[in-house]
Chain A
Amino acid sequence: MEKFGYAQSQKYDTYASRLMPREEFFTSGHRSCQGCGEALAVRWVCKAIGKDAIIAHATGCMEIVSSGLPQTAWMHPWIHVAFENTAAVASGIDAALKILARKGKLAGAPPKVVAMGGDGGTSDIGLQALSGAMERGHNFTYICWDNEAYMNTGIQRSSSTPFGAMTTTSPPGKESIGQSTWKKDMVAIAVAHNIPYVATACPSYPFDLYFKVKKAIEMPGPAYIHVLSVCPTGWRSATDLSVRLGRLAVETAVFPLYEVEHGRYHLTVEAPRLRPVKDYLKPQGRFRHLREPELDFIQRMIRARYELLLEKCRQPYGEFATVPFTPEPEQEVA
């Protein structure tokens, strides 16, 4: 990773589209909606993880659109698993690779193990398997496509849906303002497992996403990446705004991009001046019903959370104390 100079000298590096790899591992012909931010994220993540990888993918939008049965859009060895056991299957693959390497049946470096899932498959249904796999310390990377609702079954709310958003199971009206709870902080849950690498990413910043995935793949031990992917269908936004909305989410600090390496927070994309959160909410039809008091509440809440994150980034020490484990040298018996 050092040769890319990522996170050390971001200021002086040249990122150009033309320097990125041209090979596509997520091919054309998948059935995602027009302007799907998730498909863009998958495309860049698949480029970043490279050729040698095994993917376990939870049920969800990306599974539905990419693998209509006699056809598949994936170039990797790919296994579709149920909502609740994505991380369990990934840890099984990792254990199998270890056994194969021990028996000498695996030539060369073992392939990378990647698990992917939507926000429902990650923060609602698959949380126990993910928590177990991260706690056991399997060498795998979990990537969560966060489009903030169950889009594939018709926009039902998930625990990742932001406050005030309209979904079919949290409809706004006289008694309700849409989703009544704040978005679950899945990144903080992953950080609390004390795993080596946790990051948030967004396909509107493809180079940031690309190098974060590269870093996560090369890091031994579990890694977790939370990718905000704009969904024009579910967010009720124009299809051509997908990339711009992701950028607005970062610039308004609704979804700040940061990484947590061994408990140390580091902001990777820093907005010089935060934009008002209204800029982000206005193009989306799912926030259309919000009035001034709710907008003001969201603005204050997001500012407070961002201040907290900046405070964490300023900490000279990590979230967890890490002391190298060195067993005491054995005493020689005289």
Chain B
Amino acid sequence: MSKPLEQTTWQEVELGGLLREPGSARAYRTGDWRSQHPVWTKSRCIRCGVCWTVCPEPAIIEEPGGYFDMDPNYCKGCGICAKECVTGCISMVPEEE
């Protein structure tokens, strides 16, 4: 969708509910749902990628150095990555205003 979700009216939706653009939900930022976010302690990270594996969004992206970080646009703050981290290098930090 070229227009934002709020400005789209029902007249613009194609007959039969056809959607021609795959993956257009990327325009919807689920990141503002979260109340906490993961923080990686890089000194303890072994870059195994388990956090990337278990993220349901997926909101964990790989940085150029091979370390992982969250995508602030989509992370909902569920905390699975912190729970599943092998070395315990991820901690959940409350969101600040």
A residues apposed to B, CB below 8 Å? 16-18, 20, 22, 24, 27-32, 34-37, 39-40, 43, 66-76, 80, 206, 232, 238-244
Contact = CB atoms under 8 A, between A and B. Distances in A.
Nearest to A247: B84
Given A71-B1, A75-B22, A29 B54 contact: no
A181 B5 CA distance: 44
**Main secondary structure on chain B at its contact with chain A?**
loop
13 contacts: A27-B26, A28-B58, A30-B25, A34-B34, A34-B78, A35-B78, A69-B17, A70-B5, A71-B19, A72-B21, A240-B80, A240-B83, A243-B54
Interface string B65-89: 0000001011011111011100000
Contacts of A80: 17
Contacts of A29: 25-30, 74
B57 A28 contact: yes
Given A28-B73, A32-B56, A243 B84 contact: yes
- Determine the main DSSP class of A at the interface with B: loop
Given A24-B58, A35-B56, A239 B78 contact: yes
A29 B8 CA distance: 17
B53 interface: yes
Interface of B: 1, 5, 8, 12-13, 17, 19, 21-30, 33-34, 48-50, 52-59, 62, 71, 73-74, 76-80, 82-84, 92
Nearest to B1: A70
A67 B19 CA distance: 9
Contacts of B52: 17
B13 A69 contact: yes
Nearest to B83: A240
B80 to A, nearest CB: 5
Please indicate which of the listed interface residues A29, A39, A240 has the most CB atoms of chain B within 10 Å of its own CB.
Answer: A29
B83 A241 contact: yes
